[in-house]
Chains A and B, each alone.
Chain A
């Protein structure tokens, strides 16, 4: 009996656990990337004990890959040498870690996955417990195969209704961030459910779990169902069957009920994710760069939305429009289906896969006093380069519509044609 996180933890612990308890759990996978692995290696070497199970360790190159400078290259070299020395089976160089984790079949319902990246919450969209930790704890888990957790209280977000044309999961999640604030769910599990979520495809569900980090949540969970099972069968090596873990007579700390049909396109405005406004209030504001990509909105369907909106048109001549597919699987599908041709013909720049400009190291860095509209999940000062630049967060449709004008633009102006 319990909330979804209590049920997942109870299954793993082999006994019934409840909010407030401290539990030591076996983890299924331990994820880290080129930015966080070097510190994990340092911690591992200082502990001085052998790896518990190599099959649990999954390394990725995505934050600064291919290396934009000598220091990044040195990090990559160090990680490759470590992986060779320890004979580690998994080192991926094919896109944003969270997307590749899902594509490669590491994320399954009920799994416990820790990652040295704050957006490891992403895995919650498939009914797995995913949470971000620091590098030292990743090194600890390499040695022990375990991690400690305080079983969190749960905020249930019950979403009903259907979104209006031009409104996406991103708009709904930005709206929720505005309601709860950036510390509104600190230490909590956020459980997303209701009729809207039940009918939502996986690429949209992922937006909620991914951005639960931005309201401080430990994890952002969606109960696995038929949509999850079909998604896994069609897109990953995982066949199933899966045990569907659901909340059972849950005791929620708080329930938030939202009718999504009342929500219009939203923006997270400079300089915090919870600085939320209706797009209409800021329509016409000039932007210097449009950035479409990341673990939040760099998926095939996001690129498809942009391509459909930009087909046969030209983006604003002075605005830089950059598209970074989240993974090579997405890149290949977009290429095969002609989406990249459409975007390039419209004047967009397509980059290689990975985290790109979202980490402010390469692939679209901002100059002082510039403004970007992006599909990222975070708009902190200095995130994309200059601390004097402004970052606004929106859906891929809003980003594409704004690319045409070089100003913040309501996508409904184009989608209704």
Chain B
């Protein structure tokens, strides 16, 4: 179970981690400044297993992989959003940061709610309100990458053709 941290629609990668901090690729260093301008209380207070809640078009803007790495490095278990910007979606899958898509969950969860997420089934329970949600199923080849823990792990034991 983790605490929900709620963010607005069209959250861009500059808001996740401003460009001036992208000079490092160390997840722990990036995590120190994640959401520093829009939610400065996040980095010092986030606990391993907490959950990020986003609106539409989560992670729009730059292609910087530093954004999902910073979120993963902060200890967040997963992101639940109404929809994702395309590069952010690919980046999160590739680095093994679980992302779930559910408009209902994104709208039905408030900051501070206690959330239980079953990543394999996509079932999301809001323990604070008693509501349950089901995330959209992912395409089979995305599940292959996710189950391997990211594209790097996948390619260590498979060829790229094995994706399809």
Chain A residues close to B by CB (< 8 Å)? 22, 24, 35-36, 38-39, 42-43, 46-49, 64, 69, 71-72, 75, 115-118, 120, 132-137, 139-140, 143-144, 146, 148, 182-183, 186-187, 216, 218, 272, 359-361, 378, 380-383, 385, 387
If A35-B22, A137-B94 touch, does A183 touch B151 (CB 8 Å cutoff)?
no
Residue pair B85, A380 in contact (C-beta under 8 Å):
no
A–B Cβ pairs within 8 angstroms, 13 of them: A22-B139, A35-B22, A39-B65, A136-B91, A137-B91, A140-B152, A146-B160, A182-B57, A183-B60, A360-B19, A361-B23, A382-B14, A387-B37
Residue pair B37, A381 in contact (C-beta under 8 Å):
yes
Of A134, A140, A216, A385, which one neighbours B57 at CB under 8 angstroms?
A216
Chain B nearest CB from A242 CB (Å) reads 28
Residue pair A49, B155 in contact (C-beta under 8 Å):
yes
Residue pair B63, A117 in contact (C-beta under 8 Å):
yes
Taking the complex as formed, is B32 at the interface, i.e. its CB lies under 8 A from any CB of chain A? no
- Please indicate the chain B residues that have their CB under 8 angstroms from the CB of A39 in the complex: 25, 65-66, 69
If A42-B25, A146-B160, A183-B10 touch, does A360 touch B18 (CB 8 Å cutoff)?
yes
Tell me the chain B residues, 71-117 only, with Cβ under 8 Å from chain A: 83, 85-87, 90-91, 94-95
Residue pair B18, A382 in contact (C-beta under 8 Å):
yes
Of B15, B68, B139, which one neighbours A381 at CB under 8 angstroms?
B15
Residue pair A46, B87 in contact (C-beta under 8 Å):
no
Chain B nearest CB from A65 CB (Å) reads 13
Residue pair B61, A36 in contact (C-beta under 8 Å):
no
If A144-B160, A380-B14, A380-B61 touch, does A38 touch B94 (CB 8 Å cutoff)?
no
- Please indicate the chain B residues that have their CB under 8 angstroms from the CB of A133 in the complex: 63, 87, 90-91
Closest 3 CB pairs of A and B: A134-B91, A183-B57, A134-B65
Residue pair B86, A218 in contact (C-beta under 8 Å):
yes
Chain B residues close to A by CB (< 8 Å)? 10, 12, 14-15, 18-20, 22-25, 37-38, 56-57, 60-66, 68-69, 83, 85-87, 90-91, 94-95, 139, 141, 150-152, 155-156, 159-161, 163-164
- Please indicate the chain A residues that have their CB under 8 angstroms from the CB of B163 in the complex: 24, 148
Chain B nearest CB from A146 CB (Å) reads 5
If A133-B63, A133-B87 touch, does A48 touch B20 (CB 8 Å cutoff)?
no
- Please indicate the chain A residues that have their CB under 8 angstroms from the CB of B151 in the complex: 43, 136-137, 140
- Please indicate the chain A residues that have their CB under 8 angstroms from the CB of B141 in the complex: 22, 148
Highest count of chain A CB atoms <10 Å: which of B37, B64, B87: B87
Residue pair A136, B152 in contact (C-beta under 8 Å):
yes
Cα A387 to Cα B69 in complex, Å, equals 22
Cα A33 to Cα B24 in complex, Å, equals 14
Residue pair B155, A378 in contact (C-beta under 8 Å):
no
Cα A48 to Cα B155 in complex, Å, equals 9
- Please indicate the chain A residues that have their CB under 8 angstroms from the CB of B19 in the complex: 359-361, 382-383
Cα A139 to Cα B65 in complex, Å, equals 12
- Please indicate the chain B residues that have their CB under 8 angstroms from the CB of A380 in the complex: 12, 14-15, 61
Of B25, B61, B63, B156, which one neighbours A38 at CB under 8 angstroms?
B25
Chain A nearest CB from B39 CB (Å) reads 12
Residue pair B63, A134 in contact (C-beta under 8 Å):
yes
- Please indicate the chain A residues that have their CB under 8 angstroms from the CB of B57 in the complex: 182-183, 186, 216
- Please indicate the chain A residues that have their CB under 8 angstroms from the CB of B65 in the complex: 36, 39, 116, 134-136
Q: Give A43's nearest chain B residue, CB to CB.
A: B152
Residue pair B18, A387 in contact (C-beta under 8 Å):
yes
Residue pair A35, B64 in contact (C-beta under 8 Å):
yes
Residue pair B87, A118 in contact (C-beta under 8 Å):
yes
Residue pair B23, A75 in contact (C-beta under 8 Å):
yes
Residue pair B95, A136 in contact (C-beta under 8 Å):
yes
Of A24, A47, A116, A135, which one neighbours B156 at CB under 8 angstroms?
A47
Chain B nearest CB from A213 CB (Å) reads 8
Cα A135 to Cα B12 in complex, Å, equals 18
Cα A69 to Cα B21 in complex, Å, equals 12
- Please indicate the chain B residues that have their CB under 8 angstroms from the CB of A383 in the complex: 14, 19
Cα A42 to Cα B25 in complex, Å, equals 9
